[in-house]
């Protein structure tokens, strides 16, 4: 129960900030939300995009799943959770930025790379297979290289797969072409505590926010 008590105490802090004083944020948010960014992040407990970016309620629309993946557009009937959120963010909320946020130490990408992938569970293996093109690319390029290096490359390549898949949604593609929506591929390096961004001009992830000058010991 200690863990639940921590959650309730956290909610009380949140309540104090937004509901007990003169903070008027929710007076507006009760009418409507108007986030400018959709973030697709991993379910991993260490990579909460709102915490990482210091966002307030209403700032970002978020989809989280294993390995921050976007499946390609499919119009076959199904329970397309990511696609539904994407549709709402793009068509209804009219977000201006879509950010795919990958990260280091990703268990989902680790599962994708595992030779025992199929044994990991009935849902994980077929889900992470969305990023199979990333694995194929990295396996060819970095064959025999250090495992950590391969995993990092695969985590970053999977972000690019999701960005490519985003463009298979015709209404999103159209808005990107019209520059009404900007796509971003980010990568949170939790070893260094820094944020990287994919630069299509040079085809690599480069530092967006550098690590602290004096990292914690």
Q: Which is nearer to Zn ion, 42 or 85 (CB)?
A: 42
> Which residues are within 8 A (CB) of 125 and not within 5 positions of it... i.e. 6 or more apart?
111, 117, 118
Q: What are phi and psi of 144, to 5 degrees?
A: 80, 0
Annotation marks residue 55 as catalytic: no
Site residues (CB under 5 A) for Zn ion, limited to 142-171 = none
Count Cβ atoms within 10 A of the Cβ of residue 58 and give its class: 0-12 exposed, 13-18 middle, 19 or more buried: middle
Taking contact as CB under 5 A, which single stretch among the options 1-9, 27-35, 108-116, 132-140 is the one that binds Zn ion? Answer: 108-116
- CA-wise closest residue to 161 among 42, 96, 71: 71
Q: Which region, judged by CB under 5 A, interacts with Zn ion, from 40-48, 52-60, 122-130, 187-195?
A: 40-48
CB 86 to Zn ion: min, Å? 19
**Residue 71 binds Zn ion, judged by CB under 5 A:** no
189 included as an active-site residue: no
Residue 44 binding Zn ion, by CB under 5 A:
yes
CB of 123 vs Zn ion, minimal distance in Å: 15
Whether 37 and 59 have beta carbons less than 8 Å apart is answered as yes
Q: Does residue 189 belong to the site contacting Zn ion (CB under 5 A)?
A: no
105 is annotated as an active-site residue: no
Sheet holding 97-103, edge to edge: 60-65, 37-42, 97-103, 182-189, 194-199, 204-209
Three-state DSSP state, 167 = coil
Binding Zn ion (rule: CB under 5 A), the pick from 41, 82, 86, 106 is 106
Rounded CA-CA distance 81/68 in Å is 13
Cβ at position 102, least distance to Zn ion in Å? 7
Q: State the catalytic residues.
A: 42, 44, 46, 103, 106
Give contact residues for Zn ion (rule: CB under 5 A). 42, 44, 106, 108
């Amino acid at each position: 129960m200690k863990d639940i008590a921590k959650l309730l105490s956290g909610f009380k802090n949140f309540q104090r900030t937004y509901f007990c004083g003169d903070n008027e944020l929710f007076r507006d948010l009760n009418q409507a939300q108007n986030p400018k960014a959709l973030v697709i992040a991993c379910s991993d407990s260490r990579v909460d995009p709102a915490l990482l970016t210091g966002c307030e309620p209403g700032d970002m629309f978020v989809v989280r799943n294993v390995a921050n993946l976007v499946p390609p557009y499919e119009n076959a009937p199904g329970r397309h959770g990511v696609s539904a959120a994407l549709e709402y963010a793009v068509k209804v909320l009219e977000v201006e930025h879509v950010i795919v946020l990958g990260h280091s130490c990703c268990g989902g990408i680790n599962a994708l790379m595992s030779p025992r992938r199929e044994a990991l569970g009935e849902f994980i293996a077929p889900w992470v297979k969305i990023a199979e093109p990333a694995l194929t690319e990295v396996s060819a390029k970095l064959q025999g290289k250090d495992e950590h290096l391969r995993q990092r490359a695969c985590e970053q390549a999977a972000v690019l797969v999701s960005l490519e898949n985003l463009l298979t949604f015709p209404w999103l593609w159209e808005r990107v072409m019209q520059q009404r929506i900007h796509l971003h591929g980010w990568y949170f390096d939790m070893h260094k505590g820094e944020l990287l961004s994919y630069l299509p001009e040079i085809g690599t992830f480069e530092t967006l926010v550098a690590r602290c000058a004096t990292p914690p010991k």
